[in-house]
Amino acid sequence: MGKYDDTYKRSLEDPEGFWGEAAEDISWYRKWDKVLDDSKPPFYRWFTGGQMNTCYNCLDRHVEGGRGDQVALIYDSPVTNTIAKYTYSELTDIVARFAGGLKGLGLEKGDRAIIYMPMIPEAAIAMLACARLGVIHSVVFGGFAPHELAVRIEDAKPKVIISASGGIEGKKIIEYKPMLDKAVEESSYKPEHVVVYQREHIKEPMMKFRDVDWAGLVKDAEPADCVPVLATDPLYILYTSGTTGLPKGVMRDNGGHAVALNWSMKNIYGVDAGEVYWAASDVGWVVGHSYIVYAPLLKGCTTIIFEGKPIGTPDPGAFWRVISQHGVGTLFTAPTAFRAIKKEDPNGEYMKDYDLENFKYLFLAGERLDPDTYHWATDKLKIPVIDHWWQTESGWPIAANSVGIEEFKIKPGSPTKAVPGYDIRILSQEGKELERGEEGLVVLKLPLPPGTLPTLWQNDKRFTESYMDAYPGYYFTSDGGFVDKDGYVYIMGRVDDVINVAGHRLSTGGMEEVVSDHQDVAECAVFGAGDQLKGQVPVGLVVLKAGVETGHDDIKKALVKMVREKIGPIACFKEVAVVKRLPKTRSGKILRGTISKIADGAEYKVPSTIDDPAILDEIEESLKELGYAKKYD
C-alpha cells in the first residue's frame, strides 16, 4: 500500500484519531471533549466542547509565531491599476480595528452580518472581523439583484450590512448602494446599520442615522480582541440556490472548518506556510470563502485578491502576469476561465511574455474539466493540471489528486481519487451499492468529515430533506458518476443533467466531453430538448475558438459524427448551433436548465446569478433557427 492508501484507510477506520491529530495544528483556548459526536445522526458534530477563534488562527497566531512581517494578502486590481500588500501584522491590526468598529455598533457573538462587496481587501477584512467577534457572516455576491439580497436579509436577519459604494466589472462600474437600499426596502426585516466603504472611483450618498462610513468607523475604534467561540458555533452562512427558489443557507462551523481547511492546504494542494497561493474566484462563492480567505491564512500562506478577469483586463495574459509578478506557486480557478483564455489565445502567445518558473500546480474545479481544456493547459504550461471536485455544501474538496500525500497519474475526465475523510459510494436509483465501473448516483457514506455542512441555517428539516432522506446513511450529492477499477472517481454531471431519449438514460456530460474534443470548439453545452417522439433529444451549443470563422456546417457535421461514433446512434445527437457565448452564472457555471426551458418554450425565471441576461435573447434566436423555442413563434 502507498502513502495515500494508508492515509485514506486510516481516515475512514479511525476518524477520531485522524482528525484529532489534524486538530493539533490549530490553536485552541480549550481542547474538545469529543472529536466526533455521533449521538444524533445525521447531525454529526466535530470537536464538541472545544473553544477556539478562527480569526486568531488566521492572523494573530502567525504574528505571535514570527510571521508578522510576511505578506499575508496581496490586492491586485488591474481595473483600478492598484497593487497593495498587507503583512500579517498589518492585516491583524486593520481587522482588529474594524472589529472594534463593529463592536461599537453593538455587534456581539451570535449576531449576523451580511457582507455585500466587490473583490477588494475590505471584503476579507469584514469576514475576518466578524469571525474575530464570533459574529456570523453571510457573504452575498457583490452585485446580486436587490430581490435576491432581500431574500437573504429576510432569512439571516443581520444586525448590520457591510458593503461598498460599488464594484468594477471589466470597464463597467456597478453601483451597489442603490441595489442595497432597494433590497432593504423590500425586506420586512431591517438591519440597524449599513456600513459603506466609499471607493475612490464611486461615491454614493449616505442615509442619515442608518448608514455608517467605513473610514469614520475605524478612525476612532478601539481594536477588538478575539472572542472565544465553541468549535460547533456557526462561522458563516452561505446561501446556495435551492430547487424551490428559496436559497438554502449552508452553515459552516468554526472548529471543524479550521481543522479541515488547514489540513487541506498541504495535503491536497501541496502548499506550505510562506508560499504564495492564489484562488482566482470571488469571495461571494464557496471557493472564495475557503481558498481566498480562510485556508491560505490558516496555513500561513500569502493569498491574493484579484479584481479582474482572465481576459480583457487588459488581455488574455492577465493570469500569467499575476503568477509571474507575485511568485504564485499554485493557482486554483474554474475551467471556464481557462476556456476563455484558450478561446482568445489558442496558441498561448501571451504566456511567453512572463516568467512562470515558480508555478507548480494548476487546480481546476466548479464544473467538469473537459479533456480539450485539460490537454491545452497541460501542453502549454508543462505542469500538472489537476481537476478536483467538491460542492458549496462540502466546503473543501471531495475528490482530488492529493499531491501533498501522493501524486497520482492523471486520467483526463476524472478528479482522481476520494480525498481522505470522504467515503464515496455509487448507488442505483433503488439505493443498492454498485460495483466499480457501474454508473449511478454519487453519495457519501456518513459521517461526513469536518468542515462540511453540519446543517442548514435554522432549518434542520430542509437539511435532511435535501441531502439525507433519499438514501438514509448517505449524503446525496445530486451528481451521477462512477468509480473505476483503480479507484478513480468520474463525475458525469448533476442527476438532472441526465436526459431520457426514447427510454435510454444518457448523460449530457458524456456528450459534452466528445463535442469539446473537436479542435475548433472552445466550449460547449449539451442539454435535453423536448421531443414528441422520443421524449427528449440532445441539442448542442458550441462556441468556436478565436480565428475559426468559416466552415460552420462542416464543424456541425463532424460533431454529430463524433457523438455517433463515441456514444452511439442511440444518443440521437443531430442538432448543433454555433453561438458567440454561453449563458453562465457569475461563477462560470453554464445555465443548462435555463437553455433547456427556452428550447421547450417553457416559462423560466432569469437566474439572479446570470453573468449577462442579454445572452438569453441570443440563445433564443439560435434555438429558433434549429426549430425550437416554438412558443415564441
Within the chain, which residue ranges are assigned CATH 3.40.50.12780?
Answer: 3-308+388-481
The pLDDT assigned to 503 comes to 58
Residues of the chain with CATH 3.30.300.30: 502-632
Q: Which residues contact 614 (CB under 8 A, 6 or more apart)?
A: none
For every residue of 19-36, DSSP letters joined together read HHHHGGGS--SB--SEEE
CA dihedral for 306, 311, 313, 318, sign (positive or negative): positive
Position 1 scores a pLDDT of 72
Residue 580's Cβ-count burial label (10 Å; 0-12, 13-18, 19+) is exposed
Taking alpha carbons only, the member of 380, 289, 278 closest to residue 331 is 278
Q: What is the pLDDT of residue 376?
A: 95
The number of residues making up the chain comes to 633
Q: Residue 168's closest CA among 35, 306, 288, 287? A: 306
Q: Of the candidates 295, 374, 312, 406, which has an alpha carbon nearest to the alpha carbon of residue 5?
A: 406
Residue 81 has pLDDT above 50, yes or no: yes
CA distances from 6 to 3, 400, 447 (A): 5, 16, 19
Phi, psi angle pair for 120, to nearest 5°:
-130, 160
Contacts for 76 with CB less than 8 Å, ≥ 6 apart: 82, 83, 304, 305, 306, 307, 308, 322, 325, 326
pLDDT greater than 80 at residue 569:
no
- pTM of the predicted model, to two decimals? 0.85
Listing from the earlier edge strand, what are the strands of the sheet with 474-483? 423-427, 440-445, 474-483, 489-494
Residues 316 and 341 sit within 8 Å (Cβ to Cβ): yes
Quick one: pLDDT at residue 611? 79
pLDDT of residue 331: 98
Lowest mean pLDDT among 23-32, 210-219, 442-451, 597-606: 597-606
Residue 496: the pLDDT is 65
Write the burial class of residue 341 (CB in 10 Å: 0-12 exposed, 13-18 middle, 19+ buried).
buried
Query: What is residue 232's three-state secondary structure?
Result: coil
- The DSSP 8-state label assigned to residue 352 in this structure reads G
Q: Are 135 and 109 in contact (CB under 8 A)?
A: yes
Q: Which of 575, 574, 119 is nearest to 322 (CA)?
A: 119
State how far the alpha carbon of 8 is from the alpha carbons of 270, 339, 383, 482, 487, in Å: 17, 33, 25, 19, 12
What values do phi and psi take at 279, rounded to 5?
A: -105, 110
- Residues 502-632, CATH architecture: 2-Layer Sandwich (3.30)
C-alpha 248/C-alpha 629 separation (Å) is 31
Phi/psi class of residue 509: alpha, beta or left (left: φ > 0; alpha: ψ in -120 to 50)?
Answer: alpha
- The mean pLDDT of 418-437, rounded to a whole number, is 96
582-596 pLDDT tens trace? 998 877 778 888 898
Strand partners, 424: 444
Residue type, 258: A
Per-residue confidence band for 550, with pLDDT thresholds at 50, 70 and 90: confident
pLDDT tens track for 352-385 = 999 999 999 999 998 778 788 899 999 999 999 9
Tell me what pLDDT residue 242 has.
52
Return the CA Rg of the chain: 24
Q: What is the pLDDT of residue 510?
A: 76
Instruction: Please name the fold of domain 3-308+388-481.
Output: Rossmann fold (3.40.50)
Q: What is the DSSP code string of 323-335?
A: HHHHT-SEEEE-H
Query: H/E element holding 77?
Result: strand 71-77
Helix (H) or strand (E) holding 597: helix 592-599
Distances (CA, A) of 92 to 58, 200, 229, 539: 9, 24, 19, 53
Handedness of CA 365, 371, 377, 381 (dihedral sign): positive
Q: 251: closest CA among 453, 505, 412, 93?
A: 453
With the C-alpha atoms ordered 593, 599, 603, 606, is the resulting torsion angle positive or negative?
positive
Q: Return d(Cα 404, Cα 406) in angstroms, integer.
A: 6
Integer Cα distance of 298 and 578 in angstroms: 45
What pLDDT shows up at residue 522? 92
Residue written as cell 466546503? Answer: 395
pLDDT range class, residue 41, cuts 50, 70, 90 = very high
What is the reported pLDDT for 509?
79
The closest of 142, 80, 83 to 288, measured between CA atoms, is 142
Residue 633 pLDDT grade (very low, low, confident, very high; cuts 50, 70, 90): very low
Residues 136-147: tens digit of each pLDDT: 999 998 877 888
The span from the CA of 604 to the CA of 606, in Å, is: 6
- Residue in this structure with the C-alpha cell 426514447, named with its chain if needed: 502
Backbone φ, ψ for residue 303 (5° rounding): -115, 160
Report for 169-183, 460-474, 545-559: range of highest mean pLDDT: 460-474
Give the mean pLDDT of the chain. 93
Tens-place pLDDT, residues 487-533? 999 998 777 666 767 656 577 877 888 899 899 999 999 998 888 77
pLDDT at 632: 41
- Give CA separation, 332 vs 372, 406, 443, 617, 625, in Å: 18, 19, 25, 32, 38
What is the four-CA torsion angle of 138, 142, 144, 149, rounded to 10 degrees? 30
Residue whose grid cell is 462551523:
253
User: What is the sign of the dihedral through the CA atoms of 604, 610, 614 and 620?
Assistant: negative
User: CA nearest 59: which of 10, 108, 124?
Assistant: 124
Q: The cell 479533456 sits on which residue? A: 371
Cβ(115)–Cβ(140) below 8 Å: yes
Grid cell digits, residue 268: 491536497
Helix (H/G/I), strand (E/B), else coil: 622? helix
Q: How many CB atoms lie within 10 A of CB 302?
A: 25
Q: Are 401 and 384 in contact (CB under 8 A)?
A: yes
220-271 tens-digit pLDDT: 899 999 999 999 999 999 998 654 457 789 999 999 999 999 999 999 999 9
Average pLDDT on 185-213 reads 94
Q: Do the strands 361-364 and 385-387 form a parallel or antiparallel pair, or are they unpaired?
A: parallel
